[in-house]
Amino acid sequence: MKLIRFGEPGREKPGVQLDDGTRIDVSHHIPDYNPDFFAAGGIARLTGIAASRTNCPVVPNGMRIGPPVGNPGKFVAIGLNYRNHAKEVGAEIPKEPEVFTKYTTCICGPDDGIIIPRTSGKMDYEVELAFVMGRTVRDLPSEDGALEHVAGYLLCNDVTDRDFQFRGSQWVRGKSHDSFGPLGPWLVTPDELGDPHTLDLETKVNGETRQKSNTADFIFNIPHIIWYCSQFFTLEAGDVVTTGTPEGVAIGMKDPGAFLKEGDTVEVTVSRLGKQTQLLRRRG
């Protein structure tokens, strides 16, 4: 099943995209895809609602698609999680996951566009596989059964300003500007996605392929990431976790012209999770 949210920013309604591409509005039954929805096992209820389609009008064509999860408590990210990406930036293969955070105010819809910070220097793209927690977990004893806590998977562009990122030892400066967390277009449930460790990822900038890889190149797989994070902090239902980017980022190309600039178009895709298209712009 594919969960969507549609409508104006901050006023999105929950919906479902059916197998034939039809999008239906389920807001008569469910207020939003927020932490309460996931904590209550809402996806099981949603399955029946989507099957019956009772009081589920069709979403009009052309309606904006927003991020498929609303008001997550945390936006957790993993850095340097692809072997070839670590090599291209001259970093050692990490022995433990590199965990950082993105503030949730950076989250936006998949095609909303990327806002260039006023003093930005080096804008970069990072196609990533992300997932949403379906249950609250803490201090898991092992990786066994960790995937059972995942509500679904989604596409993320971990937009980064490299100048901001390396002002000190914490990366959050370069990761959390408004629009630096496009999510969606869908949240795909595990039964429909299948194995998350066999997915193709790609980034194009102005039609040129920059990143092309597969989640098989992960250093740390998703069960390990969930187990590892749970040792240090509670992962709550509705939290978003993004799992790192493969090789091909602008900072790894050693060419100043590779960084994004105003007017550039970025397209990121993950197989079975859809595509995002973003235009780089200054704040209006």
* Per-residue pLDDT at 86 exceeds 90: no
pLDDT of residue 80: 93
**Bond into 35 cis (ω within 30):** no
Domain 67-282, CATH? 3.90.850.10
Cα 196 to Cα 26, 182, 272, distances in angstroms: 27, 19, 10
Q: What is the DSSP letter of 106?
A: G
Name 132's bridge partners: 152, 240
Q: For 132-146, what is the mean pLDDT? A: 97
The Cα–Cα gap between 95 and 219 comes to 9
pLDDT of residue 91: 83
* Per-residue pLDDT at 137 exceeds 80: yes
Residue with tokens 């390990």: 224
Residue 224: phi and psi, rounded to 5, are -65, -40
pLDDT of residue 26: 98
The Cα–Cα gap between 126 and 176 comes to 13
- Average model confidence (pLDDT) across the chain: 96
* Per-residue pLDDT at 242 exceeds 80: yes
Nearest to 163 by CA among 172, 174, 152, 155: 174
Long-range pairs of 98-101 with CB within 8 A, sequence gap ≥ 24: 99/228, 99/229, 99/232, 100/76, 100/170, 100/171, 100/172, 100/175, 101/74, 101/75, 101/76, 101/77, 101/172, 101/175, 101/176
Helix (H, G, I), strand (E, B) or coil at 187: strand
**Residue 168 pLDDT grade (very low, low, confident, very high; cuts 50, 70, 90):** confident
pLDDT of residue 79: 95
pLDDT of residue 166: 85
**Model confidence pLDDT, tens digit, residues 19-40:** 999 999 999 999 999 999 999 9
Q: Tell me how crowded residue 53 is: count the other CB atoms within 10 A of its CB.
A: 14
Domain spans of the chain, in order of start? 2-65, 67-282
The Cα–Cα gap between 141 and 181 comes to 31
pLDDT of residue 99: 97
**Model confidence pLDDT, tens digit, residues 248-258:** 999 999 888 99
